[in-house]
Amino acid sequence: MTSLNPVMTIGRQISETVQVHLGLNAAQARQRAIQLLADTGIPAPEQRVDQYPHQFSGGMRQRVVIALALAAQPQLIVADEPTTALDVSIQAQIIALLKRLCKDQGAAVMLVTHDMGVIAEACDRVAVMYAGRVAEIGPVADVIHRPAHPYTVGLMGSIPAMDEERERLMQIDGAMPRLNAIPAGCAFNPRCPRVMDRCRSERPDLLPAGATRAACWLHDAQVAA
């Protein structure tokens, strides 16, 4: 919502990126800006290209930012909470648009989000982060349905299921540590219901855990044996 420069037209912002990265002249860059706006579903792109960000709705501005991200034909787009502050129906449209355009252009997307619903809908693989490190990584369906790290188990357990009646949802006791006071050993150990002595002194690397990999001593071959 605030990524666009409010005193430059949409067309100039896209053209500038295209000219710097692809070496096109001004007329070619303007044509590419119009094409990108059309690709992202902006109606009447020939007129809209000369308008300013405040003349666009929130969802339209998000489409313009996607056009801007794709303008220089990247191989990878890092999208940090791309649907925050948009209402739910617009969120679904934006995620579908991002997926379609990146597939068409052969670009990968790294989506950074706290919204497990968006992850389930949009992603192939997911990395669950805790205190700045990957706690678990693997195919989305496996991480969601068969979580291997106690933190992922807690996260999934805290999401209400539509087909299940429960008095209480699972809760992860305690709070996320401050990044300048991360506990020794496994960072999750003060909150982990399955903590062992070793967890308080040795930090686990990612270990194979079924179809995923989890940074947890429960998946150490010696513990499992």
- Interacting residue ranges for ligand SF4, rule: CB under 6 A: 149-150, 186, 188-189, 192, 194-196, 199, 204, 216-218
Shortest CB 220 distance to ligand SF4, Å? 9
Dihedral sign, Cα of residue 173, residue 176, residue 177, residue 178: negative
- 115 burial (CB, 10 Å; 0-12 / 13-18 / 19+) is middle
Judged by beta carbon, residue 83 or residue 212, the one nearer ligand SF4 is 212
Judged by beta carbon, residue 113 or residue 189, the one nearer ligand SF4 is 189
Judged by beta carbon, residue 156 or residue 218, the one nearer ligand SF4 is 218
CB neighbours of 191 closer than 8 A, spacing ≥ 6?
A: 151, 172, 173, 174
Shortest CB 195 distance to ligand SF4, Å? 4
Contact 176, 191 (CB under 8 A): no
CB neighbours of 12 closer than 8 A, spacing ≥ 6?
A: none
Shortest CB 110 distance to ligand SF4, Å? 24
Shortest CB 224 distance to ligand SF4, Å? 12
Between the two ends of the chain, the Cα-to-Cα distance in Å is: 52
In the beta sheet, which residues pair with residue 5? none
Judged by beta carbon, residue 90 or residue 218, the one nearer ligand SF4 is 218
Judged by beta carbon, residue 32 or residue 188, the one nearer ligand SF4 is 188
Shortest CB 125 distance to ligand SF4, Å? 20
